[in-house]
Amino acid sequence: MSVSLLRNTAFLPSIPLGIQTIYSAKMRSSLNQETPSQKNLGCDGSGGSSVPELRVFIRRKRVKKTVEVIAKEVKEESSGKKFVRLPEIEDFSYSKDVTHSQSTPSKSVHLTGEKALSQLTQTEIKGFSLSDPLQPPLNWEKVLEGIRKMRSAEDAPVDSMGCEKAGSSLPAKERRFAVLVSSLLSSQTKDQVNHGAIQRLLQNGLLTADAIDSADEETIKSLIYPVGFYTRKASNLKKVAKICLSKYNGDIPNSLEELLLLPGIGPKMAHLVMNVAWENVQGICVDTHVHRISNRLGWVSRPGTKQKTKTPEETRESLQLWLPKEEWVPINPLLVGFGQTICTPLRPRCAICTVSDLCPSAFKEAASPSSTPKK
């Protein structure tokens, strides 16, 4: 309840540095209809069953001249479910994702500066009772279900083949390497073209770190042609093979951080490789379709605002704050296919979309002049 939250946070400054402290607060569901003043104050303590209890884990430590306050995590008491979303405040920055082995990635808000303590107090009240940022978007399950239905009716290119199938008949280690290579080649390239390139590499025995390392770059280049950016990719492939050989005994890195060190592997592919090669879901694989559609649906926003996310990475972080982990892997093929057939970048086909009534962007984009070219 907000009263105890206020009281607790009020004596925060007296708590010794470095001690982890736990605060409890009751959070009112955003679905409840109530007056703003009630919202602002949160539950008055009558303890309705619709009000889940939250805990905030807070750590304080001294950083140079100021005190840094870190709200470690938020979790719902009743279900035990952890939330990693922390509320809107001014003058703060999100820390980088911290991933705990196989568990849910967590995120913390770092507050630094003189006003950190008072900011945190405001934040908790605002976040838990008013703006209620822990709630997933309204109707997201209906939207997802609708998209699934549309996807099973239509046939999108993504259905036919993807790099997740690369080398499915190979021994584990070679299969992982094949997945990595396939990811490397597949950016900005149609699956079919990519698949052909992988087949040619395989037929020439060039789908292991060892073979690629000793092969001629020109040979690789000609085999992977015509995947997009084949010159650069051939060069990256050589470098990656060498790294895999020297640092990982010919296998591929098994962590997100190490995958990102490989040339040609960025966040999108690193998450894909973790998902597919290691079956270890560290994050959502966000490509341009997932990015675009998440924003159209109003599923993501820049931290603490209602603005659209600007990059796929921002989208990934925003999505991961509320989307249940079971959906992290399937969301990509689902939205990619949807984005290829219906929710296209240009002139989305809202008229045939069965979830347009739940989409804040439906029919909003300039119905572009397919028949009225203005120049």
| Residue numbers at the binding site for DNA (CB under 7 A) | 157-158, 162, 187-188, 190-191, 226, 228-232, 262-270, 287-289, 310, 312, 332-333, 336, 340, 345-346
- Yes or no: say if 123 and 106 are a contact pair by the CB < 8 Å rule: no
Instruction: Respond yes or no: is residue 239 known to be catalytic.
Output: no
Distance CA 252, CA 50 (A): 47
Distance CA 17, CA 66 (A): 12
Instruction: Tell me how far, at minimum, the Cβ of 143 lies from DNA, in Å.
Output: 20
Taking the least distance from each CB to DNA, the nearer of 123 and 186 is: 186
> Does the N-terminal peptide bond of residue 345 adopt cis geometry, omega within 30 degrees of 0?
no
Instruction: Tell me how far, at minimum, the Cβ of 193 lies from DNA, in Å.
Output: 7
Which residues, in sequence order, are CB contacts of 326 under 8 Å at separation 6+?
Answer: none
Q: For the chain, what's the residue count?
A: 375
- Yes or no: say if 233 and 264 are a contact pair by the CB < 8 Å rule: yes
- Determine phi and psi for 204, rounding to 5 degrees: -95, 15
Encoded tokens for 228: 């997009």
> Does the N-terminal peptide bond of residue 136 adopt cis geometry, omega within 30 degrees of 0?
no
Taking the least distance from each CB to DNA, the nearer of 164 and 174 is: 164
For 323-366, give the DSSP string: S-GGGTTTHHHHHHHHHHHTS-SSS--GGG-TTGGG-TTTTTS-
- Yes or no: say if 121 and 9 are a contact pair by the CB < 8 Å rule: yes
Which burial class, exposed, middle or buried, applies to 153 when counting CB atoms under 10 A from its CB (0-12, 13-18, 19+)? exposed
Taking the least distance from each CB to DNA, the nearer of 95 and 192 is: 192
Instruction: Tell me how far, at minimum, the Cβ of 113 lies from DNA, in Å.
Output: 23
Taking the least distance from each CB to DNA, the nearer of 58 and 353 is: 353
Distance CA 123, CA 130 (A): 10
Instruction: Tell me how far, at minimum, the Cβ of 279 lies from DNA, in Å.
Output: 17
Please tell me which residue in 26, 72, 75, 268 is annotated as part of the active site: 268
Distance CA 254, CA 99 (A): 13
Instruction: Tell me how far, at minimum, the Cβ of 114 lies from DNA, in Å.
Output: 28
Q: Where are the alpha helices (DSSP H) in 32-101?
A: 36-41
Taking the least distance from each CB to DNA, the nearer of 149 and 232 is: 232
Taking the least distance from each CB to DNA, the nearer of 118 and 160 is: 160
State the catalytic residues: 268
